């Protein structure tokens, strides 16, 4: 028979070593891995043959621990007088918890962060060798071969030595070739396109459209990959996760503003409630255990005494820890903090987006920008999860392990630890297993949703081609595909939940049976078991959060990264320090050697010089793509010139504030866009303090008043999204009314009469004459009859002024470009002139602003269809004809 040994009684240091062994190895490995992640330390490949040998040694160590546990357990059952040495048993149980994931991690990965493994091997060898030597001195020489634990210790010590030598060889051996394994890649994936998110001066990432799935994690898209590429790039630039996360510190003043005492007070309340909840989570089940013990004692002694004091304390603890107690205060405090953070960060992002230059807004999808502005809530949820979910969970687990050890013994803690580790592992495994099916499910949902949106938005096309049956079948097929993918996903997901519930069920049963065994032997009172049962939910509920928190944190970080990238985007057009408000007296505008390009490879404006005296009307004509609209954008300072300067009354536009400049300018665009509000609200947008009378006077001058009063709701009629309920001519007349109401010093008309029929045009021309009186006016027109009275007409071709003069002067220029354009629009009347005086100017097909080249030579009588919306089209507010 093996001699019983109790090293703790002979060598107290050995008991300390046993207790420290597993935690030292495990925490070192976790800490080393976390550190290598934080500094982005690269992993290295392990040769296959050496890996196989090391795995064999690690499995040997693991099996040795399991064998020793089985030995202790079987002997405890077989011999009533034998009790396993607790330090040695705890060392074995803890080492099983440590070496199981280490062995699996080495087996599942071809490249590893080797410093973490080597350090664990060093500690394992040190502890095992010391334990084996102390055991050798405590056992007589002739009894050592008969002592099973000593033999197992010796086997582990030898395996640990070989493992250490192998690890040392790998550590000092230079890596032959770089690994291509998945773990060798960047943490967040390689950039698919390095320039995918680059704009002129920022690194704003594309934003994934919102998924129709209710789950937390959306299927990865190319946009997500681009954001992750930017994230990985910033990780490298910042030197790791510490520097990366430090970049988000810019949001802290908005999440927790020091100057807002309400938010700070609510934060203190939440922190106090978190600590109070941790304490009462422990005291409440403990108090019920005390009550149970006193009731049992009262029953055994037949005293009939009710422990009212303890009962009242238990009720008080339960009340305080409930939502009816302090929980409602914590909920209100959380609401205040969340709303404050949402308001501050959303307004910050919204203001930043509106302040960005035109190049940003013309290069980004509006849905992406809107989604980025909505990312404020992700930051708050990320902070809330870390502060009020993850940290309390870790604290709960530490307290739970200590308390159940106090209630019973350390073996009870290991029952819970093994169950918890298995629970988290199963959750991680099934989450990984179900992710491909989930992505497929989310993709099918998106396809189904996009089919509905596309069909509804294009209802007219469906009706034109009579494809109702086809669209019905297509949508039905999409629904069936979504349901099938949902089944495939939920079968795997529910399998994981079932496996986790099975673990908790058997873990709870095992813990209760173990507790009962100690009660029936008289070692523990019944109240301890009641406390354990009541405390079980507090111990196990954090396991679910730990199983799935990584996915939530990763998703929140991606959302926060998008918002950070958005805020890092800087406007290309910005006010200089000390810029003053512009002062417009006469409205004199001068272009001096102006050059401009969107792309250096393609100049748009080349050496333009012009001077418009105050009150003059300057007309730009020429074929589409010549740069006419770009010149108005430069005057509005949507872009800054790349050469030369633009002056208004002697003031360079780059030296004045954008707000004052745009207050002094008025623009009637070619394709006006309205808000989905009433007509009155849309027109008042030009002058917020305008009276109803002023609005109606402006509409009369723009020849739209009669149309508006003919609508059922008059000026209170809603115009629909972007003004779709109005015809093209009505839209442009409302745009003219807005400029008339604004009453600016300088007016710009970009094809303002392109969608107006001939009967309305005369009225509009009268309105323009009123509008132009005393104001400098710039007009872009393809219909040359509308600018015949201009003080100066400039013919633009390929970004250059090739002709200038009045209408009559340009017509006298035989062979000129203006005469060619005029002849094309009046071909029926000037065919003779056309045949006798062919134009020497070549027709231009250059594209403006990088768009496809188009030549607009629409005759006057057909020009109402230029914009694709005639004055009669889609007049849904009033059928007056």
Query: Residue 231 has what pLDDT?
Result: 62
Query: Residue 483 has what pLDDT?
Result: 93
DSSP string, 513-547: HHHHHHHHTTSS-HHHHHHHHHHHHHHHHHHHHHH
Q: Identify which of 655, 583, 669, 623 has the alpha carbon closest to the alpha carbon of residue 800.
A: 623
Tokens, residue 6: 């109790």
How confident is the model over 543-563, as pLDDT tens digits? Answer: 777 776 666 676 677 667 777
- The position carrying tokens 């400049």 is 661
For 522, other C-beta atoms within 10 Å of its C-beta total 7
* Integer Cα distance of 42 and 73 in angstroms: 43
For 587, other C-beta atoms within 10 Å of its C-beta total 22
Identify the three-state secondary structure at position 641: coil
- Annotated domain spans of the chain: 7-184
Q: Identify which of 32, 25, 34, 31 has the alpha carbon closest to the alpha carbon of residue 62.
A: 25
* Integer Cα distance of 734 and 728 in angstroms: 10
**586 within 8 A of 613, measured Cβ to Cβ:** yes
* Integer Cα distance of 262 and 266 in angstroms: 6
- Cα distances (Å, whole numbers) of residue 467 to 450, 462, 464: 17, 5, 8
Identify the three-state secondary structure at position 612: strand
Q: Which residues in the chain land under pLDDT 70? A: 1-11, 37-44, 139-146, 174-247, 357-380, 548-552, 554-555, 558-559, 572, 752-761, 763-764, 767, 827-881
Q: Identify which of 705, 697, 730, 780 has the alpha carbon closest to the alpha carbon of residue 687.
A: 697
Per-position b or e across 260-292, b if 16+ CB within 10 A of its CB: beebeebbebbeebbeebeebbbbbbbbbbbbb
Query: In which order are the strands placed within the sheet that holds 651-652?
Result: 602-612, 589-599, 643-648, 651-652
* Integer Cα distance of 731 and 716 in angstroms: 16
* Integer Cα distance of 749 and 728 in angstroms: 16
Name the maximum alpha-carbon separation found in the chain.
130
Which residues are bridge partners to 618 per DSSP? Answer: 778, 792
Query: Residue 192 has what pLDDT?
Result: 39
How confident is the model over 491-501, as pLDDT tens digits? Answer: 888 888 888 88
Query: Residue 31 has what pLDDT?
Result: 84
Count of helices and strands (H, E) across the chain: 30, 12
Residue 481: CB partners within 8 Å, gap ≥ 6? 444, 447, 448
**719 within 8 A of 678, measured Cβ to Cβ:** yes
**543 within 8 A of 209, measured Cβ to Cβ:** no
Query: Residue 234 has what pLDDT?
Result: 62
Identify the three-state secondary structure at position 622: coil
Query: In which order are the strands placed within the sheet that holds 665-668?
Result: 665-668, 746-750, 776-780, 617-621, 792-797, 800-805
* Integer Cα distance of 770 and 772 in angstroms: 6
Q: Identify which of 618, 620, 614 has the alpha carbon closest to the alpha carbon of residue 800.
A: 620
Identify the three-state secondary structure at position 203: coil
Query: Residue 870 has what pLDDT?
Result: 40
Query: Residue 3 has what pLDDT?
Result: 43
Radius of gyration of the chain (CA): 39
* Integer Cα distance of 163 and 117 in angstroms: 10
* Integer Cα distance of 629 and 778 in angstroms: 11
* Integer Cα distance of 89 and 410 in angstroms: 10
Query: Residue 476 has what pLDDT?
Result: 92
């Amino acid at each position: 028979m093996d001699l019983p040994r109790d090293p703790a009684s002979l060598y107290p240091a050995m008991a300390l070593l046993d207790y420290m062994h597993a935690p030292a190895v495990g925490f070192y490995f976790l800490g080393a891995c976390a550190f290598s992640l934080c500094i982005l330390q690269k992993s290295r490949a392990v040769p296959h043959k050496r890996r196989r040998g090391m795995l064999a040694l690690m499995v040997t160590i693991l099996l040795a621990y399991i064998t020793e546990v089985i030995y202790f357990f079987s002997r405890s059952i077989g011999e009533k007088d034998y009790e396993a040495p607790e330090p040695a048993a705890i060392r074995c149980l803890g080492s099983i918890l440590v070496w199981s994931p280490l062995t699996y991690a080495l087996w599942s990965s071809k490249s590893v962060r080797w410093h973490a493994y080597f350090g664990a091997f060093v500690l394992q060898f040190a502890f095992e060798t010391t334990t084996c030597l102390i055991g050798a001195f405590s056992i007589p020489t002739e009894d050592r071969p008969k002592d099973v634990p000593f033999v197992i210790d010796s086997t582990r010590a030898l395996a640990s030595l070989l493992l250490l030598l192998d690890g040392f060889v790998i550590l000092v051996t230079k890596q032959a070739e770089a690994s291509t394994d998945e773990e060798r890649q960047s943490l967040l994936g390689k950039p698919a396109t390095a320039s995918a998110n680059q704009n002129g001066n920022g690194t704003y990432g594309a934003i994934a459209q919102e998924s129709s799935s209710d789950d937390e994690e959306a299927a990865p898209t190319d946009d997500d990959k681009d954001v992750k590429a930017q994230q990985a790039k910033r990780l490298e630039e910042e030197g790791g996760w510490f520097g990366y996360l430090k970049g988000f510190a810019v949001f802290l003043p908005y999440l927790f503003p020091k100057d807002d005492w309400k938010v700070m007070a609510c934060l203190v309340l939440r922190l106090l409630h978190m600590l109070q909840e941790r304490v009462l989570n422990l005291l409440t089940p403990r108090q019920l255990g005390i009550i149970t013990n006193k009731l049992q004692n009262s029953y055994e002694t037949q005293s009939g005494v009710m422990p009212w004091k303890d009962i009242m304390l238990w009720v008080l603890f339960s009340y305080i820890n409930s939502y009816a107690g302090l929980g409602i205060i914590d909920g209100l405090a959380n609401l205040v903090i969340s709303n404050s953070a949402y308001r501050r960060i959303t307004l910050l992002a919204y203001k930043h987006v509106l302040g960005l230059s035109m190049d940003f807004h013309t290069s980004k999808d509006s849905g992406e920008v809107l989604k980025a502005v909505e990312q404020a809530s992700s930051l708050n949820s990320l902070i809330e999860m870390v502060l009020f979910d993850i940290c309390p969970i870790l604290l709960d687990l530490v307290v739970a392990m200590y308390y159940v050890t106090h209630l019973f013994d350390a073996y009870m803690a290991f029952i819970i630890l093994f169950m918890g580790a298995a629970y988290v592992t199963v959750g991680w495994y099934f989450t990984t297993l179900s992710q491909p099916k989930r992505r497929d499910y989310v993709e099918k949902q998106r396809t189904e949703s996009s089919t509905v949106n596309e069909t509804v938005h294009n209802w007219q096309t469906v009706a034109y081609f009579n494809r109702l049956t086809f669209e019905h079948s297509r949508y039905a097929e999409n629904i069936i595909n979504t349901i099938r993918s949902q089944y495939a996903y939920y079968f795997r997901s529910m399998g994981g939940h079932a496996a986790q519930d099975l673990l908790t069920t058997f873990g709870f049963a095992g813990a209760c049976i173990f507790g009962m065994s100690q009660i029936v032997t008289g070692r523990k009172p019944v109240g301890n078991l009641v406390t354990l049962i009541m405390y079980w939910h507090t111990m196990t509920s954090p396991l679910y959060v730990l199983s799935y928190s990584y996915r939530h944190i990763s998703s929140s970080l991606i959302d926060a990264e998008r918002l950070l990238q958005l805020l890092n985007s800087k406007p290309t057009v910005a006010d200089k320090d000390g810029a003053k408000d512009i002062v417009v007296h006469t409205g004199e505008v001068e272009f001096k050697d102006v050059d401009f390009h969107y792309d250096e490879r393609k100049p748009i404006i080349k050496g333009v010089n012009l001077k418009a005296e105050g009150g003059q009307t300057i007309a730009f004509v020429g074929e589409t793509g010549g740069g006419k609209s770009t010149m108005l954008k430069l005057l509005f300072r949507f872009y800054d010139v790349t050469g030369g300067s633009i002056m208004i009354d002697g003031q360079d536009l780059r030296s004045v504030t954008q707000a004052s400049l745009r207050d002094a300018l008025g623009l009637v665009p070619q394709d006006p866009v309205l808000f989905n509000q009433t007509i009155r609200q849309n027109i008042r947008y030009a002058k917020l303090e305008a009276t109803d009378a002023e609005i109606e006077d402006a509409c009369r001058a723009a020849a739209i008043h009669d149309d508006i009063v003919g609508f059922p709701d008059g000026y209170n009629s809603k115009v629909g999204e972007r003004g779709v309920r109005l015809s093209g001519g009505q839209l442009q007349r409302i745009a003219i009314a807005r400029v008339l109401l604004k009453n600016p010093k300088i007016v710009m008309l970009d094809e303002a009469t392109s969608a107006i029929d001939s009967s309305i045009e005369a009225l509009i021309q009268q309105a323009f004459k009123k509008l132009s009186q005393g104001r400098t006016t710039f007009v872009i027109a393809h219909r040359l009859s509308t600018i015949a009275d201009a003080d100066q007409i400039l013919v633009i071709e390929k970004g250059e002024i090739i002709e200038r003069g009045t209408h009559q002067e340009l017509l006298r220029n035989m062979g000129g470009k203006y005469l060619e354009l005029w002849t094309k629009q009046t071909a029926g009347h000037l065919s003779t002139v056309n045949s006798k005086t062919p134009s020497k100017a070549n027709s231009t097909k250059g594209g403006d602003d990088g768009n496809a080249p188009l030549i607009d030579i629409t005759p006057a009588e057909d020009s109402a269809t230029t914009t694709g919306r005639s004055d009669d089209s889609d007049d849904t507010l009033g059928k007056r004809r």
